[in-house]
Chain A
Amino acid sequence: SQQGEEDPQALSIQEGENATMNCSYKTSINNLQWYRQNSGRGLVHLILIRSNEREKHSGRLRVTLDTSKKSSSLLITASRAADTASYFCATAPGGGNKLTFGTGTQLKVEL
């Protein structure tokens, strides 16, 4: 069953614009993670935000977490063509580390 659901399913923007992706989940969590997947490759871990954190930054990435709404957002600022990929949120229901992934947001950054 899907724990995380990303929105939108697909997003197309111009280089230099910001991209925002959202994730909703169902049960309580210890942390929420975001991953990127380039076409046909494995997933790459981007950022982990713990349940007691509200916002976290890593380079051009900004992640927020609202545990009362069971939602998170990933913002990529000043996007580049190299950011074109699928982005997944993942959570571990019950606080373990058996991650459940959403179906992802496909981001396309055009020149």
Chain B
Amino acid sequence: DVKVTQSSRYLVKRTGEKVFLECVQDMDHENMFWYRQDPGLGLRLIYFSYDVKMKEKGDIPEGYSVSREKKERFSLILESASTNQTSMYLCASTSPPGDPRERGYTFGSGTRLTVV
């Protein structure tokens, strides 16, 4: 069964801490994404990556950075966590457009981060 695995389901961090959210996929997908989900705002794209060491900003990249050193792993970094970054974080992966394997996104189970 194909999978996207996020390292933590629940996380509580203090303001100012550096936070790492890890995501691993086992489908050999080129494209990986980080979204945050907030009530009333839906899913908003933070960063995405279409290849190893490649990254592009999404709609709300401020306060975040990412790392993609290996194809299967895409990390989201909160450089200095703030309370307004309390949210559900969702990682997803997919094959490129037009790829015969294209079947939509596969999401991880999400990480609910609380910054206090």
Contact = CB atoms under 8 A, between A and B. Distances in A.
Interface of A: 1-2, 30, 33, 35, 40-45, 48, 88, 90, 92, 95-104
A87 B52 CA distance: 31
| Main DSSP-derived SS at the A contact region | loop
Contact of A41 (B31, B41, B94, B109): B109
A86 to B, nearest CB: 10
How many B residues touch the partner, as a band? 20 to 34
A42 B107 contact: yes
Interface stretch (B13-21, B66-74, B75-83, B98-106): B98-106
Nearest to B88: A40
Given A98-B48, A103-B41, A40 B112 contact: yes
A60 B48 CA distance: 33
Nearest to A44: B107
A100 B41 contact: no
Given A88-B43, A100-B45, A103-B41, A48 B97 contact: no
